[in-house]
């Protein structure tokens, strides 16, 4: 798991350094917390994540990246 996170952060640093802090502070911590809970309570697994959750996370990431790009390009 740590290798995948390191690869993800390396990719984000190379492509949009402004999103790294948000990714570390908000997204990765929330995902780790959710997964720890899911792994400790096996019955939750199939019921915890659905397409709406995925779309919501995707929207938040896009908004953050768009804000970072706007600050970089339009400042």
- How does pLDDT run across 29-55, given as a tens digit for each residue? 888 877 776 667 766 655 555 666 677
The distance from CA 61 to its chain's CA centroid, rounded to whole angstroms, is 7
Q: How far apart are alpha carbons 17 and 28 in whole angstroms?
A: 16
Its pTM stands at 0.47
Q: Coil, helix or strand for 16? A: coil
Q: Which whole number is the average pLDDT over 23-34?
A: 82
Helices and strands in the chain: count of H runs, count of E runs? 5, 0
Higher-confidence position of 52 and 13: 13
Whether the CB-CB separation of 64 and 30 falls below 8 Å is answered with no
pLDDT band at 1 (very low <50, low <70, confident <90, very high): low
pLDDT at residue number 44: 62
Q: How many Å is the Cα radius of gyration of the chain?
A: 15
């Amino acid at each position: 798991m740590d290798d995948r996170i390191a690869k993800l952060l390396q990719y984000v640093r190379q492509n949009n350094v402004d999103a790294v802090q948000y990714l570390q502070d908000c997204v990765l911590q929330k995902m780790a917390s959710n997964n720890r809970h899911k792994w400790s309570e096996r019955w939750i697994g199939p019921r915890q994540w659905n397409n709406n959750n995925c779309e919501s996370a995707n929207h938040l990431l896009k908004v953050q990246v768009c804000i970072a790009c706007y600050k970089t390009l339009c400042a």
